[in-house]
Amino acid sequence: MPVISHPNLPSLERLKSSGLVLADELSVHKSNRKDLHIGLLNLMPDAAFQATERQFVSMLANNEEYLIHLYPTSVSTENRSDKLKAYINDHYNEIGEFQNRKYDGLIISGANPSQQDMTKERFWKPLIEVFEWAESNTSSILCSCLATHAIMKAKYGIERQMRDEKAWGIFKHQLGEQNHPLTQGIEDGFDGPHSHYYDFPIEEIESTDLQILASNDYAGIYLAASKGGRLVLFQGHPEYSKNSLLKEYQREIINFVSGKRDDYPTRPNNYFSDSTSEELDELKKSLLSNPREISLNDEMISDIDCNWQSAGKTIYRNWLESLASA
């Protein structure tokens, strides 16, 4: 799907070398394509902000049938760096202006949690306000990770629960609804990334209008949706790039050596090769005796084929097709 952003996102230029189809004058005026207007509420912290843009665009830009008009916005920008404030001011829609139009769909990104009680997070109130507005101004709302946790609480009254240990890595998933429109073309046992400390009681979700579309016995829900698809909830991360878990692991190691966390982080499951895992074990021994800043090289994941994105793009394509027929 050719993608054009309103206003233009300079970070999209980095995607052209990835073979994704970004909009040009020809695609904008091609009469046999259907236009879809998608909002993106980006809540990610500064370090991951532009990477998140690229990740979601990579999910959208994989089919020639539609022309995707993307409208990025954000909220609670007062705690941003001056550099990112300027970037948001130049390339994002102000939230009031953003809400002056209707959209076929809205994507709400995850965020960086700092509180166990989400209602105390800086983003909580504006996130819920945008969500409630979107229920009447979009055909479907697609939430990612922490946004899913927030909506589970705000809309369904379901409290997330702290896990015994973090679920993160690459996991295989069972399909809950074999013939659901969102999972058409997906095979049982498909791979997908997770990264979350919290989870939901399955029985509480089953008491709502939500259908669990994909899950893993250990990592929990990957994808759920309301009947009719007006709400799509990812706890997994199909949009993750090849090095997303590597960068997250590096950040957690740095948090340990700097004293921001007490324990050395466990490695993501089913992500690193055996030889890289051995290398990381040696690094752990070294850091425990000599804490210091480190940088993990992308060569550590050179053998990863990123196959989870294929299933993710299929789900997103199915979502866009449902918007086109709404």
User: Where do we find the tokens 């993750």?
Assistant: 240
CA nearest to 238, candidates 163, 178, 289, 314: 314
37 CB neighbour count, 10 Å cutoff: 18
Within 10 angstroms of residue 30's Cβ, the number of other Cβ atoms is 13
**98 and 71 in contact (C-beta within 8 Å)?**
yes
Residue for token digits 């589970």?
Answer: 152
Residue of 145, 180, 194, 196 marked catalytic: 145
Q: Is 203 a catalytic residue?
A: no
User: b/e for 125-136, b at 16 or more Cβ within 10 A?
Assistant: ebbbebbeebee
Residue 145: which residues within 8 A CB-CB, separation 6 or more? 110, 195, 196, 234, 235, 237
**Dist. CA 65–CA 37, nearest whole Å:** 14
Q: Which of 53, 149, 237, 252 is catalytic?
A: 237
| CA–CA gap between residue 58 and residue 40 (Å, rounded) | 13
Counting Cβ atoms within 10 Å, is residue 36 exposed (0-12), middle (13-18) or buried (19+)?
A: buried
- Which contiguous run of DSSP H or E holds residue 136? helix 124-137
The catalytic position among 53, 121, 239, 321 is 239
* Length, in residues, of the chain: 326
Instruction: For residue 91, indicate whether it is catalytic.
Output: no
Q: Is 25 a catalytic residue?
A: no
Which residues carry out catalysis?
Answer: 145, 237, 239
